[in-house]
Amino acid sequence: MHVKGPRYSWNATVLTLFPDMFPGPLGQSLAGKALKTGIWSLKLLDIRAFAGDKHRSVDAPPFGGGAGMILRPDVMDAALASVDQLPGRRIYLSPRGKSFDQSVAESLVEDPGVVLICGRFEGLDQRLIDARNLEEISLGDYVLSGGEIAGLAVLDACVRLLPGVLGSEEGLKEESFTKGLLEYPLYTQPREWKGKTVPEVLLSGHHGDIKTWQREQAEMVTRDRRPDLWARYREKS
């Protein structure tokens, strides 16, 4: 009998000074299982392997002075050149980038893969960003010590969207951000806990009423917590 394999394998390539940080948490649970079964694959490039000199130096002090070190454009370019044949967007994880969100994750999994560049020290030389036309993506308005954790977060958000990774793809449609709303509150067993019961409608078995309640709750939570998302949602609907 023909065993149906995954529809395709999504390829993530990561340039990093710390390849041992990968797959890290993505080697566990659903993402880890999907990695083993080939729904996605992970190629790691150790930036240091592309250093030209015998000291294997990858960084140098900034021209114009200032604190810290900068990743050299020649070294980073050699690392990127080694994966020129791979398809997918070239993304530099950077606090100066466009904010990562669900729609970016959704767009990334439409490609056959992605190449992520993890910065360290003060970051990358601007000439490299320009020459390679790197897309900058930020995890949020705070400074991490390297792009690795940001890269792992981006990959996690992407991998769970690949067909076959989650037990139920239905779940994806209901999640926070998918409809531009935060998720409604969730309840499970026991029915009564510490004197608190579960909203009656959820026990009613009336599918339509439940959907309406969930929608109202999602709208309320979004309006209260995230006026920015709420405004966008109102514009669209």
Contacting residues toward ligand SAH, per CB under 6 A? 93-96, 118-120, 122-123, 138-140, 142-144, 146-147, 150
Asked if residue 31 lies in contact with residue 160, where contact means CB atoms within 8 angstroms, the answer is: yes
For 70, half-sphere exposure in the C-beta direction (CA atoms, 13 angstrom radius) is 16
CA 43/CA 159 separation, integer angstroms: 14
3-state DSSP call for residue 105?
helix
Judged by beta carbon, residue 95 or residue 199, the one nearer ligand SAH is 95
CB atoms within 10 A of CB 126: 10
Judged by beta carbon, residue 150 or residue 221, the one nearer ligand SAH is 150
In whole angstroms, how close is the CB of 17 to ligand SAH at the nearest point?
10
In whole angstroms, how close is the CB of 71 to ligand SAH at the nearest point?
8
In whole angstroms, how close is the CB of 229 to ligand SAH at the nearest point?
20
Judged by beta carbon, residue 120 or residue 132, the one nearer ligand SAH is 120
Judged by beta carbon, residue 126 or residue 212, the one nearer ligand SAH is 126
In whole angstroms, how close is the CB of 88 to ligand SAH at the nearest point?
18
Q: Which of 11, 45, 14, 9 is nearest to 149 (CA)?
A: 14
